[in-house]
Structure 1
Amino acid sequence: MATTEHATTGHEDGNRTTTTTRGPAPTGPRPYEGVWRFTAPAVDGSVPQSRRAVKDLLKRQGVPIDADTAYAVLLIVSELVTNAVRHAALLSPELAVEVAVGPEWIRVAVEDEHPYRPRALEADDARTGGRGLLLVREITREAGGQCDVEHTASGGKIVWAALPLRVPAGVPPLPEPPDPDPVTLLPGTPAPPGPA
């Protein structure tokens, strides 16, 4: 039987409060897990709109995300959308933003139809442009995540960053879902045979 323990520190008297829940560890997807995608025109106004849409999505879905990770995710979205607007709009008048949340990570991606693969995710201090993607790379690495560029089947590209999802202190673990097919034995009923 798994035991989940949540500890809170920082009381004025220096004491530590611990809550222990005994029971099976949570299984299955959490309510906030999933993949969401939206499109936007490749124009300057899409940068703040995309950032706001992602912020609203995380709040609406109840994603348990700490303030530092949320800030990093929103900054990455802004930089990726800005990059698509500035460098891909001529060949890609529309871009797509995707947010994927798993139990331990959050991934944001921006897709456009421009075939050029930006090299700004690689270090080059002599270059004067491309600082937005360098910033994305550094924020992602600092958070312990990963970022990359992938080609799409249609010839475009997806630039993505995935960060560990750090659940803020004070968020309790999810309870075990009820057994959909419970078996109750009446007193005196022999137990079914086990595996051979």
Structure 2
Amino acid sequence: MQVLQVQLTVEPDPAEVGRARRWARSRLAKSGVAPEEPLVETLVLIISELVTNAVVHTGCPAVLRMLFSVGSSGPSRGTVRVEVADASTRPPLPRCAASDEMGGRGLELVDGLADRWGWQPEGAGKRIWCEVDRAAPALGGRGTDGRVVRVTG
């Protein structure tokens, strides 16, 4: 099994968020992920949130990467990894936004949609990553014990 990695440099401009979403859809389609697969919308939302955070909170260019397993017949049902690396050393800080606030929910959304996420130092900056397991349905929420619960549509 091989891992396919694609990446896009994102400038510190809010217009780049839409470009990153379009790029992600295009790369997923070219990699054999069907547009109607729920995974596509999940990944595009995660990418939108992570790129928005990089653009809004760092003022630095960033690199968006998608990595997924590819077998001889195309993408496998394995894990898709999304990474956003930037030159800011400031760690991502999840917060609880008040109900009347316009922002502040990005990492909460990533936490709810991704199977795993985290961050680590990278060079002079950091890399925020998340993973979505393709075999699991992409809809769900958290159970009373805090674990991610998946539901089928």
Q: Deviation of residue 39 (structure 1)? A: 0.4
CA distance change for structure 1 residues 126 and 42 in 2, over 3 Å: closer, same or farther?
closer
Partner of 2:144: none
Q: Say yes or no: does 1:100 pair with 2:100.
A: no
Q: Aligned equivalents of 1:136 and 1:83: distance in 2? A: 11
Q: Aligned partner of 1:136: which letter?
A: V
Structure 1's 118 and 167: CA in aligned 2 closer, same or farther, altered over 3 A? Answer: closer
CA contact (8 A) 2:97 2:104 kept: no
- Structure holding more strand per residue: 2
| Aligned positions, number | 127
CA contact (8 A) 1:64 1:167 kept: no
Distance in 2 (alpha carbons) for counterparts of 1:57 and 1:136:
20
Larger Rg: 1
Paired with 2:89 and 2:104, the residues of 1 have a C-alpha distance of 16
The CA RMSD measured in Å over matched residues stands at 2.2
- Output the CA distance in 2 between the equivalents of 1:150 and 1:40: 19
Q: Which residue is equivalent to 2:142? A: none
TM-score, normalization by structure 1: 0.59
Among residues 24, 34, 41, which one is paired with 2:11 in the alignment? 41
Q: Secondary structure at the match of 2:66?
A: strand
For structure 1, which runs of at least 5 residues remain unmatched after alignment? 1-27, 169-196
The answer (yes or no) to whether the contact 1:65–1:166 under 8 Å persists in 2 is: no
Q: Which amino acid aligns with 1:162?
A: E
Q: Give the 4+ runs in structure 1 shifted more than 4 A.
A: 126-129
The percent identity for this pair of structures is 28
